[in-house]
Chains A and B, each alone.
Chain A
């Protein structure tokens, strides 16, 4: 695999929600000299074409996304269960405050996210910096480090994790070689969440690839200039690499926080769907599944879903607000 295979990352494009504009240098799209009548037919033909191209997406947006969102918001104010439901006002949200399992699940989700994401990104950045040095065999290492993030979400890996960190699992077998008697990590309330955090960190490959692409974008002239000014390796990292990489770090941070709040499969498999032991791996998503699809309290489950959305939205907004203080977008614009 050559370096050209990593496509150009354009952070300004990725991070902005701006509407698509015609590529720069494209000729003015409107045929200015056309008579008004022809101009409008062309325009309306284009609109009809757009509508037909967009129609699957539009139907999906209404029927699969926005409709259910509105319905879910409505359901969160009812006690809907298996076809019956009455308006109960804010009772579901009131109930959350006195629900120890819900409070526990918020705590578990928060600990999971705020421990695993920084660790994962640190590992990703470190390995990206090492691999960016253009060593021979770099693409081999990149593949090896990337592979776990492709497989990590699957049931098979979660099953493996359960054995590896089990009482007689691989980890304890290795520890026994050093004379250490290990715990049953996945069945101990103090450590079970730790094994899931480790599993998340293990999948650092995809943010690493994004960091690598970002590092490619830093012009070498900055490093040359810094070298001329006598900057050492550390100084170049702190004053050149890190500031220019902050938009990518920010992007990875936003994305990984959003993702990890939604983690489900690993905790579900490792704890046999119960979030145990002693609710120590009860993610918010697991509790939502339990309420909605095991006990069929769909009204309450909808309220939990909106709580999850609110938490994600708040942290994403906070992330954007704080980005003003540390993300460097270049001073030429």
Chain B
């Protein structure tokens, strides 16, 4: 008992130590908050600028508009050849096709890589990993010629069909990693109960893969919604323009005169990503942490 009381530091030293720790922690939080503010300020400012009158965008770095110009949103929505919902609809069509394509095709390939034995599996797996790193710029020109010959330029097919063919190998890899972590005993139990490969895939693996599927769906949404390069190349028709293309059109045609409306539509474009970020952050972080790709 005596030794125990002796090892305790005197009360005064303890409180002194606690207060320096508290101070350090306070300074830490202060610095972190300052850094976070710098990081996030441009976003907040854009949100406020979307509600500011034009002259204030160029004169007031603050966040509170003097008058709330909700009209910016109405103006931006209707200023392009089509009302903005048309572009949102086009974007959503592509996004929906891409998500369905990636979920089905990538999970099928991943099941084969993770669970089935077949000749040259190692080689195919290495090729699959290699294609993750392949720049789109290397294949885009022949792809364009191919889709042009098929008459698919100025349709949505060039943006959806590749997803149905598991060309986003990143997600194959993500799901292979995930399926490898599932106990094989489940497959064997299913096989003993008379489940074939398709049954095992559909009834055992897929339900257990929900977290990986959610990660895939969220990332596909964000990447496709944000995608600019391939939409720029394949969609020249005004009726097929998507949200990023519409924003670019907006900026080049009248961005200089109606920044408020342009920012308003930019906020509309970022909204869904922000929503997914809030709702699916867990899956996003998991996806990055296991595979390392934004």
Contact = CB atoms under 8 A, between A and B. Distances in A.
Contact of A7 (B29, B274, B289): B289
Interface stretch (B12-20, B40-48, B65-73): B40-48
A170 interface: yes
Contacts of A137: 29
Interface stretch (B2-10, B31-39, B78-86, B92-100): B31-39
B25 A135 contact: yes
B32 A130 contact: yes
Contacts of B126: 17, 19
Given A22-B184, A49-B198, A67-B142, A141 B286 contact: no
Nearest to B233: A293
B143 to A, nearest CB: 5
A7 B211 CA distance: 11
A240 interface: no
Contacts of B130: 17
Interface stretch (A88-96, A146-154, A184-192, A222-230): A146-154
A251 to B, nearest CB: 6
Which of A13, A61, A150, A206 has the largest count of B CB atoms less than 10 A from its CB?
Answer: A150
A37 B198 CA distance: 23
A205 B184 CA distance: 35
B42 A160 contact: yes
Contacts of B143: 64, 68
A133 B28 CA distance: 10
B42 A60 contact: no
Given A49-B198, A150-B277, A206-B288, A308 B131 contact: no
Nearest to B135: A262
A151 B43 contact: yes
Contacts of A173: 58-61
Given A5-B286, A154-B244, A209-B285, A72 B139 contact: yes
Contacts of A47: 116-119
A177 interface: yes
A306 B282 CA distance: 38
B273 to A, nearest CB: 6
Contacts of B144: 292-293
B39 A148 contact: yes
Given A144-B36, A154-B226, A268-B232, 10 more contacts: A20-B113, A47-B116, A49-B112, A50-B116, A65-B134, A154-B225, A159-B263, A161-B42, A206-B294, A265-B229
28 contacts: A7-B286, A17-B125, A46-B116, A47-B119, A49-B196, A50-B118, A53-B109, A57-B172, A61-B167, A64-B143, A65-B134, A65-B139, A68-B142, A130-B32, A137-B29, A146-B285, A155-B266, A159-B263, A159-B266, A170-B61, A173-B61, A213-B288, A268-B232, A285-B137, A292-B141, A301-B141, A305-B138, A309-B135
Top-3 shortest CB links A-B: A60-B165, A19-B122, A156-B266
Interface of A: 1, 5-9, 13-14, 17-20, 22-23, 26-27, 29, 43, 45-47, 49-51, 53-54, 56-57, 59-61, 63-65, 67-69, 71-72, 75, 127, 130, 133, 135, 137, 141-151, 153-157, 159-164, 168-170, 173-174, 177, 202-203, 206, 209-210, 212-213, 251-252, 255, 258-259, 261-262, 264-265, 268-269, 272, 285, 288-289, 292-293, 298, 301-302, 305-306, 308-309, 312, 316
Interface of B: 25, 28-29, 32, 35-36, 39-40, 42-43, 45-46, 49, 57-61, 104-106, 108-109, 111-114, 116-119, 121-131, 133-146, 162, 164-167, 169, 172, 176-177, 180-181, 183-184, 188, 196-198, 201, 222, 225-226, 228-229, 232-233, 244, 247-248, 251-252, 255, 259, 262-263, 266-267, 269-270, 273-274, 277, 281-282, 284-286, 288-294
